[in-house]
Amino acid sequence: MNKQYAEILLLKTREDYNLISDEFSRTRQRLWSEIKFLFDNYIAVGEKILDLGCGNGRFFKWFQEKGADYSGVDNSEKLIKIAKKNNPEGNFLVDDALRLSFPEGCFSKVYGIAIFHHIPSVELRLKFLQEAKRILKPNGFLILTVWKFHRPEELYLIFKYALLKIFGFSKLDFGDILDPWGKKTDRYYHCFSERELVILTRSAGFKIKESGIVKNTKENRQNIYLIAQVKKSPL
């Protein structure tokens, strides 16, 4: 993907979430019980944790229950405003996942729940991973989830945008879609496979500890998850 177009898509994503922030937040109140093990099994009391792409802060409760030293960041000013209102005791900041304001090696864990699929182009995804690696302590963990697109309407969009790409009518990469949010906007997604996510994260210098697919009880929601560890020497 052209770098300039990828930057345009990044800006569009931020504007999209500012546009739909209230409605989006109302649809993101419930916690996804199928991914709770990612919190229960990987957080120790007092650890510095970054919730990267925290949105309206809905997962703050689980971090708080585990006694984490929590920071949540998102590039949507309106979603951060909602997060602060809903969780006044939380530390929520507007920040850019590709240019984080935190110093090197300051977090034990970085969580990216349903954010990475919004990063366009391989180049910028690697930049996201390298920035996460920069702010992690030696042997720190990166924990990611991305949507697994499997429903008929999602498969239709993958097929549609692949055809548009083949015939030269789309600047998107293969595997990219624009998913409608009602009539308000079309949100950018990259449709990862588990293998693609593993290979990309490994190429950024992480050791893959675990990956897989989790489903809710109705199986209408599926996520790919990945747990990766960074290996670097202390400063």
Domain ranges (residues) in the chain: 3-148+192-230
Quick: pLDDT tens for 153-203: 999 999 999 999 999 999 999 999 999 999 999 999 999 999 999 999 999
Separation CA 124–CA 101 (nearest Å): 17
Quick: pLDDT tens for 12-45: 999 999 999 999 999 888 888 999 999 999 999 9
Q: Which tokens sit at 11? A: 């800006």
Query: How high does pLDDT run on average in the chain?
Result: 95
As a whole-number percent, the residues of the chain with pLDDT over 70 amount to 98
Q: Which tokens sit at 235? A: 């400063």
Q: Would you state the pLDDT for residue 233?
A: 58
Q: Would you state the pLDDT for residue 232?
A: 60
The string over 152-163, giving b where at least 16 C-beta atoms fall within 10 Å of a residue's C-beta and e elsewhere, is: eebeebbeebbe
> H or E segment at 138?
strand 136-147
3-class DSSP state for residue 168? coil
Q: Would you state the pLDDT for residue 133?
A: 97
Q: Would you state the pLDDT for residue 57?
A: 96
Q: Would you state the pLDDT for residue 234?
A: 52
Separation CA 72–CA 93 (nearest Å): 6
With cut-offs at 50, 70 and 90, classify the pLDDT of residue 102: very high
Quick: pLDDT tens for 115-165: 999 999 999 999 999 999 999 999 999 999 999 999 999 999 999 999 999
Strand partners, 179: 187
Fold of 3-148+192-230: Rossmann fold (3.40.50)
